[in-house]
Homo-oligomer: A and B are copies of this chain.
Amino acid sequence: MASDHTRSAILAAAERLYADRGFGDVTLRDIVAEANVNLAAVNYHFGSKDELIAELFVSRSIATNRERLRELKAAEEEGGGRAPIEVILRALVGPTLRGCLGPENQRSTAARFMIRASIESVPPIRRIKNREIDHLRKFVGAMRRSLPDRSDVDIYWGLNFALAMAHHTIRESERLTKLSEGKCDLDDVEDVVARVVSVATMALTGAEATSKPAARPMAANGRLTRQDL
């Protein structure tokens, strides 16, 4: 492996194009044109298109996960093995939110790529995401230590909701801006982090049991008249 030049040019070009135009309509030919390399170079260096995408996604995921664990470890060491739940949650959702939100023009290519990966789910990325469970288990452990009185089920649901709010906000940030007519300021990332952490904390420390009301009928499947939507 001499200089890595072609390899990294492909990676950079691919990430930029995917970030800008999505996975759907970026072909290998687009990528090699942007990278100024030969078409065959992709298969030579990466084996296949899917492996290129996977490598791209794995790199960025590792970076985010490393940042998450760094924050988590620091917090637990400071608290003698038991970090406050808010800090754990902040370590969980902070890095992702900070990476993907913030002013448009200063949002990195990497972040825009990860947003795309979150919006348009393609097979090679889906396969990798399934492996993220081990990573999440570390946060489950920390949350258990922080809230020893909470049941496991509540912990799992709290984690699920925290990730839900973070990812959904990233994924649908445009819609939220439009719906709120700009009143929700998604460029103020730390405010977003604080909101997510606050709600997730309430979810984990709030009301003990959830009431179970009577079941409701399922949505109709029959014919329809155009009126809503």
Hey, which bits of chain A sit against chain B, CB under 8 A? 24, 58-59, 61-67, 69, 71, 94-95, 98-99, 108, 110, 119-123, 128-137, 140, 152-153, 156-157, 159-161, 163-165, 167-169, 172, 175-176, 178-180, 183-184, 189-191, 194-196, 198-199, 202-203, 206-207, 210-216, 218-221, 224, 226-229
- Chain B residues with Cβ under 8 A from A61's Cβ? 229
Q: Is the pair A224, B191 in contact by a Cβ cutoff of 8 Å?
A: no
Nearest chain B CB to A78 CB, angstrom units: 15
Q: Which residues of B contact A129 (CB under 8 A)?
A: 175
Chain B residues whose C-beta falls within 8 Å of the C-beta of A184 in the assembled complex: 153, 156-157, 160
Contacts of A157 in B (CB 8 A): 184, 195
How many angstroms between the C-alpha atoms of A52 and B216 in the bound complex? 31
Is B175's CB under 8 angstroms from A133's CB? yes
How long is the Cα–Cα vector from A95 to B99 in the complex, in angstroms?
Answer: 33
Q: Which chain B residue shows the least CB distance to A57?
A: B229
Given A59-B224, A168-B164: A207 touches B202 (CB 8 Å cut-off): yes
CB within 8 A of A227: which of B62, B94, B161?
A: B62
Tell whether, in the assembled complex, residue A224 and residue B62 are in contact, meaning their CB atoms are under 8 Å apart: yes
Do the beta carbons of B211 and A194 come within 8 Å of each other?
yes
**Is the CB–CB distance between A221 and B191 below 8 Å?**
no
Query: Roughly how many angstroms separate A189 CA and B216 CA in the complex, as a whole number?
Result: 10
Distance from A113 Cβ to chain B, minimum over Cβ atoms (Å): 11
Find out whether the CB atom of B198 lies under 8 angstroms from the CB atom of A210: yes
How far apart are A220's CB and chain B's nearest CB, in angstroms?
Answer: 6
A216 to B24, CA, bound (A): 34
In the bound assembly, the distance between CA atoms of A28 and B55 in angstroms comes to 31
CB-based nearest B residue for A151: B183
Does B228 lie within 8 Å of A62, measured CB to CB?
A: yes
